[in-house]
Amino acid sequence: MSVFAKMLAEKVQSYIELRRSLGYAFKKQASILRAFVRHVESEQLGGPLTKGMALDFVLSFAGAANGRATRHGVLRRFCEYLAVYDARTEALDRRALPRSRAIPPPRILSDGELASLIAACSRLSPTFPQRGRTLTTLVGLLASTGLRSGEALRLDRADVDLVGGVLQIRKTKFRKDRLVPVHTTTLAALRQYARQRDAAFPVAKDCGFFLSSRGNRLSSPGLHIAFNAACKLAGLDSGKLMRPHDLRHRFAVTRLAAWHRENADVQALLPLLATYLGHTRYSDTAYYVTGTADLLGIAADRAFGDGGAL
């Protein structure tokens, strides 16, 4: 390791410790900074840290523009810290890689498409069926509860009450905990998965509920790779890209549509749905009303009646 790379690694570690001491989780940011150290070492780069060096690292990643903007932002703030120790460190321009504020519309699967996706999950890995069982159960859980994928992946075995059918969701997006009751059919699927998981891995390597093919907690990259493969197998890879988070949108839209069909007071029920989904404000949940043309049609029919006038 070069002198510069060694110094950089030490400052990255001290910066991570500083941020965490201030109460930040700083997990994703820490992984970005450590990846930057590996980049500097592998490319045998010498100091100081420059704008070009940072941009080369950021642009070496494929993926969405917002992902590159996030990495650049993490490096920009680290450069401000590093400049205290090395005045030659160049300041990064916050406008170099602006973030896009556009929110891509979700892809809402029909009942048939969801059934095809779950069937594809079970066929994903014939040589190691437990991989397919994990993805099948996880996708079913996301679709039936509207959990964020990260919340499901962070579930420990102790967080899943296989008797009472309640999930303990810890450290959510807004650092809040909540309880999520599940339907009896979802509970049955979780129980079956737990039996199959324990048979495949009699000696637990990890406290995670959902395990990878190696017996460790399933990671976010692992989920996305398997999910994309299942979408392709189900014929859902054409057109708009499908994301695990779209299942959360589908859950909310389906629940809202059911309430409209039941002539329920949707505005009064939105706070309940917001609590279940873990939103800080029920107005955030109201966003899902615009999710599909079908939902808007149901709402319009209810508001104005068939053949009614404005």
Helices (H), ranges, 239-292 = 246-261, 266-277, 282-286
Kindly list the strands in the beta sheet with 166-169, ordered across the sheet, starting from the edge strand earlier in the chain.
160-161, 166-169, 178-181
* DSSP secondary structure code for residue 86 in this structure: -
Cis peptide bond N-terminal to 48, omega within 30:
yes
Q: Which residues are catalytic?
A: 148, 173, 245, 248, 279, 288
C-alpha to C-alpha distance for 198 and 139, rounded to whole angstroms: 19
3-state secondary structure of 214: coil
DSSP lists the bridge partners of residue 208 as 156
CA geometry: angle at 15 spanning 12 and 21, to 5°? 145
3-state secondary structure of 238: coil
Using CA atoms, how far residue 186 sits from 110, 113, 137, 258, in Å, is 19, 19, 9, 19
C-alpha to C-alpha distance for 46 and 4, rounded to whole angstroms: 6
Residue type, 196: Q
Q: Which residue has the tokens 């992984």?
A: 31
* DSSP secondary structure code for residue 242 in this structure: P
CA proximity to 214, closest of 195, 231, 197, 194: 197
